Amino acid sequence: MLFTSFGFILFLAILFPLYYLVPKRFQWMLLLAASYIFYAFAGWGCLIFIAVTTVTCWYASLRMDRLQKRQSTYLKARKEALTSEDKKAYKARVKKKKLGWFLAALLLNFGILAVLKYTNFAIVNINAISALFGGGQLQLVDLLLPMGISFYTFQTIGYLIDVYRGKYPPQESLPRFALFVSFFPQLVQGPISRYDDLAPHLLEEHPFDRRTVSFGLQRVLWGYFKKMVVADRLLTAVTAIIGAPETYDGIFVLIGMFLYALELYADFTGGIDITIGIANTLGVPVKENFIRPYFSKNIEEYWRRWHITMGTWFRDYIFYPVSVSKPMLSISKKSRALLGPELGKRVPVYLATLLTWFATGIWHGASWNFIVWGLLNGVVIIISQECAPLYHRFHERFPKVGATFGWRLFQVVRTFWLMSALRSLDCYRDVPLTFSMVGTIFTRFSLTPLWDGSLLELGLGVGDWIVAGLGCLLMLGVSLRQRRGSVREQLERAPEAARYAVAFGLTFAVLVFGAYGVGYDASQFIYNQF
C-alpha cells in the first residue's frame, strides 16, 4: 500500500475518524491494528520478519533488565557478607549473561537483515572472483525483502542498545512495544525514532484538537505536492538521462546530477512530510528529519541537516563506540608516537569516520556504488577537517569576506554541487560508469542542448518543465520562510481567505499536475527500498 495510492488515502479516511471516536484508552490498540493491516498489504510474509524482530528484541531486553534487577537485589541483601572480590566476580557473571542476551538479539536481527538484503550482493562478488580463476558460478536466490526492514531493524536495535546501556527500563508489554516497532507512518522510510522520543506519545490518550489535525493535514498535503508534482515529474527526465549514457553525456550529466538532487530532496522530504503529518494528525509528534539541507555551507553541516535521525543513529551507535573502543585507543597511542600528537590523535577519529560511512553506504544499498558513495563522503569530510586551519587563516586575513552574502552563497552552491556529484553514484549504480560520465562534463561540455530542444526529448514537455520549475521555486520559497519559524503557524496568523487559497491551490496542483495517470505512474518513495 503505497502512500501515493488511492487505497492508502481510503485507509487514512477510515482510520482518522475512527481514531478519535473510539475510547481514548483504546487508541494505541487501534494504531497497532492499523499498523499491522498496513504492513500486511506489503505481503503477509513480511509480517513474520517484523514480528520476529519485535519479539526477540522485546524478550532480550526483559532478560537483560531482570538480570540487572536480580544483581541489585542480590548485592543489597548480601551487602555485608560479600567481599569486594565476590561482588566484582558476581557483577562480571551478570555482565556476561547480559552481553549474551544482547549479542544474541543483535546478531539474529542484523543477521536477518544481512541475509535478506546482502546475500545476492555477496553471491555476485563471489562469482566475479571465481570467474577470474575459471571457477563455477553460484545461482542468485529469490529472497523476500520486507518493506522498510532497515528502518525498523535499526530503530529496534537502537532500543536494545539503550536498554543494555541502562538508558531506560524496557517496555514490559509486548503489544505496546510492537506499536513502537511497527508504527505505520514511519515504516516506509523513517524517521528512525528513539524509544524514549516516540513510544510515550504513542501510548498517550489523544483528544481531538482542530489545530493539531489541521496542521497535520497541511503537512500531508505539502508532502504530496513535493512528491507527485515535483519529484515524480523530475524523475522522468532523470531516468531518461541515466538510461542512455551513450546519448546523454557532457552537460546532460550535469543537468541529470542537479535534477536528481532536486528529485531526491522532493521525494524524500515529501515522504517525511506525509509521515510526520499523519503522525501529527493522530496527535503523535515525530522528530524532524530534514532542516533545509541545501542551505548548508559545508558537507558536515549538510549531514547534520539531511536524514537527521539516520545520521544521529550512526553517530551514537557506531561512531562514538568505535572511537573510544580499546583497539582505537591502542591505535591512537601508536599513531601519536609515530605521527606526532596533533596528527596522531586524529587518526582513530578518521578511521572511525570511514568505518561509519562504510556502514552508512552499505545500509543504503547492497551494491558497490553505495559503498563507494559512503566512503567518498567520509573522505570529503576528513579533507574538510584537515583544511579547517587553512580556512581559519584565510578568514583571519580577510575577515570581511566571510560576512558577505556572496561568500555564503558560494559555500551553499559549492556544497550543493559536491553533494550532487556524489549522488551520481546513486544514479548510474555503476562505479566505473559514474566516474566516466562525470568526466564527460569536462571533456564533452556544450551548452547547445539548453536551447536546441534536446531537453524536450527527456520525456517532459514544455508544460512539464514549467510546472517542475515553479514547484522547485515554491519549495525554495517555503524553505526561506521556514527560517522565520513554522510556515503552518505563519499561515494560521494569515487571513482566513489566504489559508483557504493555499490549501485549495496545493490540492488543485496535486490533483491536476500530479504525475499520475496516462503517461505517468506514481512511483514508490525512493527510501522504500531500504
- The Cα 500–Cα 498 span in angstroms is 5
CB 491 within 8 A of CB 502: yes
Q: Cell 547534520 sits at which residue?
A: 304
Q: Which residues are CB-neighbours of 469 under 8 A, at least 6 positions away?
A: none
Quote the distance between the C-alpha of residue 72 and its chain's center. Answer: 39
Cell of 109: 536481527
The DSSP code for 319 is: I
Query: What CA–CA distance (Å, rounded) separates 77 from 191?
Result: 44
CA distance 395 to 438: 32
Angstrom distances, CA of residue 71 to CA of 82, 95, 433: 13, 10, 58
How many CA atoms, within 13 angstroms, populate the side-chain half-sphere of residue 114? 8
Three-class SS string for 238-266?
HHHHHHCCCCCCCHHHHHHHHHHHHHHHH
Q: Under a CB-based contact definition with an 8 Å cutoff, are residues 282 and 216 in contact?
A: yes
* Burial classification of residue 33, based on how many CB atoms lie within 10 Å of its CB (0-12 exposed, 13-18 middle, 19 or more buried): middle
Catalytic residue among 307, 364, 392, 395: 364
**What is d(CA 308, CA 287) in angstroms, rounded to the nearest whole number?**
9
Nearest to 530 by CA among 405, 426, 402: 426
Spatial contact of 467 and 226, defined as CB atoms under 8 Å apart: no
All three cell numbers of 63, joined, read 532478560
| Alpha-carbon torsion (357, 363, 364, 366), positive or negative | positive
Query: Cβ atoms within 10 A of the Cβ of 85, count?
Result: 8
Q: What residues have CB less than 8 Å from 258, skipping those under 6 apart? A: 420
CA 81 from centroid of its chain's CA atoms: 52
Separation between Cα atoms, residue 95 and residue 20, nearest integer Å: 45
Q: What grid cell was written down for 220?
A: 500531508
Backbone angles phi, psi at 148, to 5 degrees: 65, 25
Q: How far is CA 250 from the centre of its chain?
A: 31
- Would residue 307 show up in a list of annotated catalytic residues for this protein? no
What distance in Å separates the CA atoms of residue 36 and residue 146, rounded to the nearest whole number?
A: 13
Count of other CB atoms within 10 angstroms of residue 63:
18
SS3 category, 493: helix
Catalytically active residues are 364
